[in-house]
Structure 1
Amino acid sequence: METAVEVYKQFLSVVPGQPDAINNMGVCLIELDRSNEAIKILSDAVDIYSRDHELLNNLGNALQKSKRIEDAVARFHSALDLQPNNITILLNLSRNLLRLGEYDRALSYLEKARDLSPENANVAMVDTLALPVVYNSAEEIVTARERLTSKLAEMENQTWKIVDPATTVGQTNFFLAYQGANDKDIQSRVAALYLKSCPDLAFVADHCRPYKRGVGRRIKLGFVSAFLGKHTIGKLFQGLINGLDRNQFEIIVFHLGPDRRLEDKYLASLSDHVDHFLCVSSRYLQARMTISEMEPDIIYYTDIGMEPVSYFLAFNRLAPVQCACWGHPVTTGIPNVDYFISWQIHEPKAASQHYSEELILFSGFCTNYHPPSFASSIKGREAFGFNPDVNLYVCPQSLFKFHPMFDDMLVDILRQDKKAEIILLDGQQSNWGRLLKNRFSRSSVELTKRLSILPRLSSNDYFHLIKLADVILDTPIFCGGNTSFEALAAGKVVVTLPGQYMRGLFTSGIYIQLGLEDLIPNTPAGYVELAVLLATNAKERIKQEKRIKARWTLIFNNKETVFSHEEFFSEALAAAETKI
């Protein structure tokens, strides 16, 4: 691919401005994860050839890769104006409208695409799995879930052919987990449909059949993720990866995507601590080959479901033992994922019913988390435009975690505390905040007047905001993970409401580890009562913050999880050899 780019550069130096060459070079740059370069050359070409739908479509793809989704949608619309019945453009537009949270608009284009090409499996799958990002109501959750299961049943009764689904479908079932239900059946059915439609997903690496570990060598343990840098996943898992015994384990990090170590200190630090750090192509088939060539004994997927490449890699048998875990805390439904690793303090009773994998429940604590450092002095409230007299409730969660049932709890806080001001942070897409504000405007006048959504903040400003808060609000149904650790590291109380599944029990599990179960309310009313008490009663707030700080050593730099993983990895690999 690099060679192709150079060939196109040479050609364009002789024949400047040739649109086909520019278009092909742009596609190559996108595939090489050099999307900014692709945007530059394709944008320049579109300025000249404004009616070239292929240039516009590929510019949209490059913008999407750079997470400039609103800009991508604009380009796909322009391309569609020129080619109204082009299936590729319709599908690209629909996928990006879904990323923006424009659910109904996306469905209208998907319906048109299905009418034009009813046998197109990629369109059918995107249409089937389409979900809102921000729900208008609890009723919409029910309707969207029923639509998904109905469409899934229709697809199960037909024969489809999908090639390279990481590219052609290009998305996962990520947003399903935020509805707040048991997703095991749906996840398993989706995985079965993919396997039926794309048998190549059942690939088995040569070293896995039959498997026999070499005598006297270390266990080759591979971590697969696109997010082990400056990201929630990186912060949650680097302590585990760096802490594993190198006398027992040969550690391989398969980083999905381009090499960003120069600008990402987390990635740079990680690469210094492991035996092999490989930047793996975000092209699924190339990634599969790279991983299988390293012949790992165990693969640990930290966040299956958060992006397409690792999701579809997990279908393959690339190691004798393959594990998923709580980076994205929902079952994968994938047959070749052998184990889901979790913790007793974070799971409800009968938790195994929520997983297609064999559930491994460790005792003790979940992560070797290294807390962030906070500046000794913090910005004043005026720096953020806050009234100094208000009681500041900060909920720093992603906006797609705001289940409609949370609205009434927020309203109750505002009604019980007349000095309350609730602060949220804007999402990856600014449209998510607009959608949530629209929902709030239908729910309550208080939410429109005394709730603000701040623009996305730098890391420093984010930590200043957390320190300024009187109380941190957790989201019910799907609670915080890294955000809870960061708030607790700032000495703040995080008010949480335990959910039915692991994804709603993480923060409460931290309090169990701290021995502070009295800070876990059991009802929405109890949540509101505790939040208001802490925000309005400085003496009580300081008391509880001191209790948290006194027990920091129980949750920070706790290597218990490292030892639990080491023991499990050895036992699981021995079991895999026995099976053979």
Structure 2
Amino acid sequence: MRTHSRTLLAARARFDVVAMCSPSAIGKAGREVFDRVIELPEDKPLVEGLAMIREFAERECPDVLYMPSVGMSLLTTSVSNMRLAPLQIAGLGHPATTHSDCIDYVSVEDDYLGDPACFSEALLRLPKDGQPYRPSQLMGTIAPRKKNASGRVHIGIASSLMKLSPSFLSACKQILERSKVPVVFHFVTSGGDIATLMHLRRVVLSLLPRQSVEITAALPYMNYIGYLNDMDMFLSPFPFGNTNGIVDAFTVGLPGVCKTGREVFERIDGAMFMRAYMPGWLVADTAEEYVDAAVRLANNREEREALRKYMLEKNIVQRFFEGRPEVFGEMVLDLVDKQKAEHAPLRKA
């Protein structure tokens, strides 16, 4: 909803846009994005949902299959290996190549791309303002920031559990060892149950001392925003970075550090920082540079506060919500028209 709904809504000027998903995967605001919503069964085997999708395609012959995300679901990974339309496009809701013969294009903003060789698909290269985001529907009034009088630097890490890689946790250990001021890492997780949180705690405490770690389970959205607001800085995980987490941090003016790379899931963070005109040294090319930048940010309060003031006064998060959502539909229609022209029967002289 936050990253793809505006382009889909704008595409309705040129297409009938039909969503197919389980009822629990879409809310009232989400339904308003589409011309139609076809509900897939939640209480039946996966193959029955796939059969419904196949029957729809055979009956209505869609021009395009567009998948905002491929991954995190058996349904989407299965559909990405089915031929349901002449033109099939994957978005980067979970950013990586599919390696599927049934996905013709991947839709990616130009500054998110990284190395084109990382993709098995052809590239539908949107301009960097071609997929503007939408503020969270759950955003409310942000409570005033609490003053930090502890003398410690509180570092927020808003991340799903799977992004907390060994290389990232190793960087956290190095930041702690090199920082001249005491730091506390706040792991604000999304997803996971008590067992996975206990495992995370065991893994993290094998690397970091107990007094330097706080692990928080998933919070209601505005509680989470308030938690971020009370942090001094944030770290974006790597190699798989964040998107919504960066928007949330920038909403409260929280400066942070990220790492870039050749894969699109590494590239997005740095591109978002650059869209918001953040200093280039906050975007690291290597793990060593990442640690250097994090230590610098943690140990320079005046620099952190100056960044925070700039972020809030300039309302830099607004840059993520500005752009031309109509470009996506225009470019897809061009592909459809080109494909139809190439396959049109030749007229006799």
Contact 1:510 1:555 (8 Å CA) reproduced: no
The share of aligned pairs that are identical, in percent, is: 19
In structure 2, distance between residues paired with 1:273 and 1:439: 42
Q: For 2:155, what is the secondary structure of its paired residue?
A: strand
Tell me which amino acid in the other structure corresponds to 1:240. Answer: T
Q: Is the CA contact 1:371–1:489 (under 8 Å) kept in the aligned structure 2?
A: no
- Where does residue 334 of structure 2 map in the other structure? 571
Change beyond 3 A, Cα 1:536–1:568: same
Q: Looking at secondary structure, tell me which structure has more strand per residue.
A: 2
Cα separation, 2, equivalents of 1:374 and 1:413: 34
SS at match of 1:359: strand
Q: SS of the residue aligned with 1:250? A: coil
1:503 corresponding residue in structure 2: 265
Partner of 1:436: 200
Q: Which moved more, 1:524-533 or 1:492-501?
A: 524-533
Distance 1:476 1:395 in 2: 11
RMSD across aligned positions (CA)? 2.5
Q: Deviations over 1:462-484 (max 9, x none)?
A: 01111111001100100001111
Q: In 2, Cα distance between the equivalents of 1:546 and 1:243? A: 34
Of residues 502, 509, 523, the one that matches 2:286 is 523
1:324 corresponds, among 90, 95, 113, to: 90
Mapping 1:257-276, distance limit 5 Å: 257-258=22-23, 267-276=27-36
1:282-310 CA-partner distances (Å, limit 9, x unpaired): 52222332354343211210111221112
Cα gap change, 1:374 to 1:494, in 2 (>3 Å)? farther
**Larger radius of gyration between Structure 1 and Structure 2:** 1
The letter for the 1-side match of 2:306 is K
Give 1:96-107 correspondences, 5 Å limit.
none
1:232-247 superposed matches below 5 A: 234-244=1-11, 246-247=12-13
Q: 2:297 is matched with which residue?
A: 534
Give the whole-Å Cα distance in 1 for the aligned partners of 2:204 and 2:248. Answer: 27
Q: Please give the per-residue CA displacement for 1:36-74, whole angstroms capped at 9, x wherever unaligned.
A: xxxxxxxxxxxxxxxxxxxxxxxxxxxxxxxxxxxxxxx
Q: Is the 8 A contact 2:19 2:36 kept in 1?
A: yes
Question: What is the alpha-carbon distance in structure 2 between the residues aligned to residue 530 and residue 374 of structure 1?
Answer: 32
Residues matched between the structures, number: 331
Q: Is the 8 A contact 2:110 2:126 kept in 1?
A: yes
The letter of the residue matching 1:361 is R
Shift of 1:509: 0.7
Letter in 1 for 2:123: L
CA change 1:247–1:241 in 2 (3 A) is: closer
| SS across alignment from 1:505 | helix
Alpha-carbon contact 2:5-2:33 (below 8 Å) kept: no
Extract unaligned runs of 5+ from structure 1: 1-233, 262-266
Whether the 8 Å contact between 1:324 and 1:337 is mirrored in structure 2 is: yes
TM superposition shift of 1:565: 0.7
Q: What is the CA–CA distance in structure 2 between the aligned matches of 1:292 and 1:397, rounded to whole Å?
A: 40
Structure-2 residue corresponding to 1:421? 184
Distance apart, 1:374 and its partner CA: 4.6
Partner AA of 1:302 in structure 2: P
* Distance in 1 (alpha carbons) for counterparts of 2:67 and 2:258: 27
CA distance in 1, matches of 2:38, 2:232: 43
**Of residues 167, 170, 174 in structure 2, which corresponds to 1:408?**
170
| Distance change >3 Å, CA 273–CA 286, structure 1 → 2 | closer
How do residues 106-255 of structure 1 correspond to structure 2 at under 5 angstroms?
234-244=1-11, 246-254=12-20
C-alpha distance after superposition, 1:536-575 (max 9, x if no partner): 4332112222433426276332232x23312211111012
Please state how far the C-alpha of 1:496 moved relative to its aligned partner: 0.2
The alpha carbon displacement at 1:272 in A equals 2.4
Q: Is the 8 A contact 1:397 1:424 kept in 2?
A: yes
Structure 1 stretches of at least 4 aligned residues deviating more than 4 Å after TM superposition? 378-381
8 A contact 2:154–2:186 mirrored in 1:
yes
Higher relative contact order (CA 8 A, sep 6+): 2
SS in 1 for 2:108: strand
1:311 is aligned, of 73, 77, 88, to 77
Aligned counterpart, 1:123: none
Aligned to 1:548: 311
Report how far residue 332 of structure 1 moved.
Answer: 1.1
In structure 2, the partner of 1:489 is 251
Q: Measured at CA, do residues 291 and 390 of structure 1 come closer, stay the same or move farther in structure 2, by a change above 3 Å?
A: farther
Unaligned runs of 5+ in 2: 43-48, 344-349
The correspondence of residues 86-105 of structure 1 with structure 2, limited to 5 A, is none
**Does structure 2 retain, via aligned residues, the 8 Å contact 1:411–1:447?**
no
Give the drift of 1:321.
1.1
Q: How does 1:278-317 map onto structure 2 within 5 Å?
A: 278-282=38-42, 283-317=49-83
